[in-house]
Chains A and B, each alone.
Chain A
């Protein structure tokens, strides 16, 4: 099973809402990532978890809050987002932090109204 599963596929939220994005992998990977991608741009790294501990936070605003409940799950909690946060949010995983083959989920298309 070489799949990273993300839910929901689409999300529309207001600026006062709280929502969560979920990601799951069963490949035994110990590194999991959140990326943000704007249209026609490459993915931008947001967070990296290695062995369930936050290893990298790329200066992401606190309205984005990651969580890694266990080695298979990764969440991204959203609160008080801005319209400019509308983007495709991608989860990924790899065996070792940023050194091994990276597998992406299909993403959550987020619209903030």
Chain B
């Protein structure tokens, strides 16, 4: 099946710093989503981005489907950005579509 790899696995930032998270996938996909899970467990959909670039405030994401990767940029990081960032891709299986998650990047932003 498709493999989804995220890097780095862990990241510690000082408040105000910028960072880039990467998601590589091993096969062609129908779409890609980025999620943020806060320390209380809530998973928030940040971007639905099968290709191209999107921006939402301090966050932006770029997916290059032909090269099988996506990047999530966090600028001017804040302590509230802490948590786990997951990318997830949709691939087509025999029974239909399946969403496959990467292992996540654990981000800690220090004040």
Contact = CB atoms under 8 A, between A and B. Distances in A.
Q: Is chain A's binding surface mostly helix, strand, loop or mixed?
A: loop
Contacts of B60: none
Contacts of B86: 42-43
Nearest to B43: A104
A90 B97 CA distance: 19
Interface in A65-100: 88, 90, 92, 97-100
Given A42-B86, A42-B104, A106-B40, A98 B99 contact: yes
Contact of B97 (A98, A107, A109): A98
A56 B41 contact: no
Contact of B45 (A42, A103, A106, A109): A103
Task: Classify chain B's interface size.
Answer: 20 to 34
Given A99-B31, A99-B90, A106-B40, A42 B97 contact: no
Interface in B34-93: 35, 40-45, 48, 84, 86, 88, 90
Contacts of B44: 104
Given A55-B96, A99-B90, A102-B33, A42 B41 contact: no
Contacts of B104: 42
B41 to A, nearest CB: 5
A2 B23 CA distance: 26
Nearest to B87: A42
B98 interface: yes
A98 B45 contact: no
Nearest to A108: B41
A98 B41 contact: no
10 contacts: A42-B101, A55-B96, A56-B95, A56-B96, A92-B43, A97-B97, A100-B31, A101-B45, A104-B35, A104-B43
Interface of A: 37, 40-43, 45, 55-56, 88, 90, 92, 97-104, 106-107, 109
Interface of B: 30-31, 33, 35, 40-45, 48, 84, 86, 88, 90, 95-99, 101-104, 106
